[in-house]
Amino acid sequence: MRIGFVGTGLMGAPMAGHLQAAGHELILLPHRTPAPETLLDGGAQIAASAAELARASEVVIAIVPDTPDVDDLLFRGDGLASGLQRGALFIDMSTISPVATQGFAEKLSALGVGYVDAPVSGGDIGARAAALTIMVGGADADVARAMPLFEVMGKTITHLGPVGTGQTCKAANQIVVGVTLNAVAEALVFASRAGADPTKVRSALLGGFASSRILEVHGQRMLNGDFAPGFKAGLHAKDLAIVLDQAEQMGLALPATAIVRDHLLARMQEGETDADHSIIVKEVGALTG
């Protein structure tokens, strides 16, 4: 396929690379970060505008930071919507508002363009290994068109229902990840303050019911003090803000999620927006003095 790809950052670059390696022709529109030389060396082209990229593509995939970024990409000025042809497919792999997603899909449907929301989990490690979890919302026919592309980029692919359900699932994912990150941070800080070796505590916990991928990977990051971004604290805070906004609209209380969001915001105020979200351990530590 001729695939337009928008957003070749920490996650998007390896995802696009897998598509290119599978034989797809890429047209790129950099978003905040330049297109990697590896993609250009492999034959990828750069579009001058979103509309130009859309006119040249059968399918457009976007992975950008936030809901306003998708809105601007689609509808502002020379946006994708002004170039997408009837019968084209737009796949949004960003993590954004489920409610806004449904509105975007309605606008594109009026133009005869399919819409699939397919946010991902797995971080940069999963993106590089083509082992992402992909949470998919959309009409059956549109998802069937997208599935061969998802299979190149991911390992666990679940079609959850109509447009917006992929984003709802990703919101739930971010709750679990955030609260578990905070639990691991509290456990390690508690163990250390109590006089136990937190490295040995983590090792012991990995053999029991408390074991998790987060304890394995991010627990080690916390012990090492290695906060090079796999998933940025600022992005996780943004995701939890989306969750809490929708929860408020639904009349739901999510107290643990709110605490995690506040911890991440506190680290952002310390200039650590671009640090890995496991940086939350520093906030837990700071609260203990």
DSSP string, 15-59: HHHHHHHTT-EEEEE--SSPPPHHHHHTT-EE-SSHHHHHHT-SE
CB contact at 8 A, 115 and 141: no
| Residue where one domain finishes, among candidates 144, 161, 178 | 161
The share of the chain scoring above pLDDT 70, in percent, equals: 100
Note whether 191 and 184 are within 8 A (CB).
no
Domain span holding position 86: 2-161
Residues whose CB falls within 8 Å of the CB of residue 195, separated by 6 or more in sequence, listed in order: none
Q: Cα separations (Å) of 165 from 8, 115, 121, 236? A: 25, 12, 15, 19
| Residue 85 sits in the same domain as residue 105 | yes
Q: Is 3 helix (H, G, I), strand (E, B) or coil?
A: strand
* 147 Rama class: left (phi>0) / alpha (psi -120 to 50) / beta: alpha
Question: Is the separation of the CB atoms in 36 and 10 below 8 Å?
Answer: no
Q: Please say which residue of 129, 161, 193 terminates a domain.
A: 161
N residues, the chain? 289
Q: 152 with 187, same domain?
A: no
Whether residues 192 and 278 fall in one domain: yes
pLDDT for residue 129: 97
Number of domains composing the chain: 2
Q: What is the pLDDT of residue 192?
A: 96
pLDDT tens digits, 33-66: 899 999 999 999 999 999 999 999 999 999 999 9
As a whole number of Å, the end-to-end CA separation of the chain is 56
Instruction: For residues 28 and 154, state if they share a domain.
Output: yes
- For residues 181 and 102, membership in a common domain is answered with no
Domain boundary at 105, 133, 161, which?
161
> What CATH number is attached to the domain comprising 269?
1.10.1040.10
Q: How far apart are CA 46 and CA 26, in angstroms?
A: 9
Same domain as 186, residue 150 = no
Active site residues: 170
pLDDT band per the 50, 70, 90 thresholds, residue 282: very high
- Say how many C-beta atoms besides its own lie within 10 A of residue 115's C-beta: 23
In a shared domain, residues 14 and 140: yes
What is the SS3 string spanning 179-194? HHHHHHHHHHHHHHHC
The C-alpha atoms of residue 118 and residue 216 are separated, in whole angstroms, by 26
Is there a single domain that holds both residue 180 and residue 270?
Answer: yes
Distance of alpha carbon 9 from alpha carbon 231, whole angstroms: 11
pLDDT in tens, 122-134: 988 999 999 999 9
Q: What is the mean pLDDT of the chain?
A: 96
pLDDT in tens, 196-249: 999 999 999 999 999 999 999 999 999 999 999 989 999 999 999 999 999 999
Output the pTM of the full model: 0.92
Task: State both tokens at 62.
Answer: 């976007």
Asked if residue 191 and residue 148 are part of one domain, the reply reads: no
Give the residue among 85, 158, 88, 79 at the shortest CA–CA distance from 118. 158
Tokens for 232?
């940025």
